[in-house]
């Protein structure tokens, strides 16, 4: 609606832009997870991704270039999205019974957000102007960043693997040499 109502795009062009945006948003978490695991770590990916998304929404709020703003949102999503469940998983040992309950609660919260966000932002956009929708999105991300940073000290150590380190290190035997030839 924003593209057609406020910016005057045709329905066909708006559908193409939105479809491309959604398609890329589904692919970028693969790259974002790899970047987080190999180079910057989960915490930096979460905060950096949220900041990029927030910058995209703030750009839309102030009428910046739509393509640049959507790119910031998609790249931020790619960093932010895959690292949240990885961070949650790092809090528990694989056999901890609280692990499954935590993931269930996490997915319930994500689903509730996926239901409520379009209703809130869509209502704001259609009734008060799309800038209020973008402001609500940026405000929600700012709150998420503050909450994450306030609780980051409770998380396990976050180590990004260096690109030169092997993903798997062979067990060391009694001789001090690798058990695997």
Instruction: Convert the pLDDT of each residue in 67-120 to its tens digit.
Output: 999 999 999 999 999 999 999 988 888 889 899 999 999 999 999 999 999 999
Q: Which segment of 8-22, 36-50, 72-86, 165-179 scores lowest on mean pLDDT?
A: 165-179
Q: How far apart are CA 73 and CA 121, in angstroms?
A: 15
Residues 6+ apart with CB under 8 A from 73: 21, 25, 52, 53, 56, 57
- Closest among 18, 118, 128 to 10, alpha carbons compared: 18
The alpha-carbon radius of gyration of the chain (Å, integer) is 20
Rounded to the nearest 10 degrees, the angle between the axes of helix 130-151 and helix 42-61 is 160
Give the residue carrying structure tokens 């703003």.
69
Q: Which long-range contacts (CB under 8 A, 24 or more apart) does 12-18 make?
A: 17/66, 17/70
% pLDDT > 90, the chain: 75
- The residue ranking higher by pLDDT, 161 or 74, is 74
Q: Where are the domains of the chain?
A: 1-153
Q: Is the pLDDT of residue 17 over 80?
A: yes
CA distances from 108 to 14, 16, 115 (A): 31, 31, 11
Q: Which CATH number applies to 1-153?
A: 1.20.1250.20
Mean pLDDT of 130-135: 95
Q: What is the dihedral of CA 101, 106, 111, 117, to 10 degrees?
A: 150
- What single-letter DSSP state applies at residue 174? T
């Amino acid at each position: 609606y924003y593209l057609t109502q406020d910016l005057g795009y045709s329905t066909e062009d708006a559908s193409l832009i939105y479809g491309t945006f959604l398609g890329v948003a589904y692919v970028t978490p693969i790259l974002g997870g790899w970047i987080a695991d190999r180079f910057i770590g989960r915490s930096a990916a979460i905060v950096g991704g949220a900041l990029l998304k927030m910058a995209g929404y703030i750009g839309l709020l102030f009428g910046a270039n739509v393509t640049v703003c959507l790119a910031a949102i998609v790249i931020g999503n790619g960093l932010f999205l895959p690292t949240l469940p990885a961070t949650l998983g790092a809090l528990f040992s694989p056999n901890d019974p609280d692990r499954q309950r935590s993931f269930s609660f996490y997915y319930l919260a994500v689903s509730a957000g996926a239901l409520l966000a379009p209703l809130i932002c869509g209502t704001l956009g259609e009734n008060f102007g799309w800038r209020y929708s973008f402001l609500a999105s940026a405000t929600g991300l700012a709150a998420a960043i503050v909450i994450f940073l306030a609780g980051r000290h409770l998380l396990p150590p976050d180590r990004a693997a260096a690109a030169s380190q092997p993903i798997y290190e062979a067990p060391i035997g009694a001789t001090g040499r690798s058990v695997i030839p």
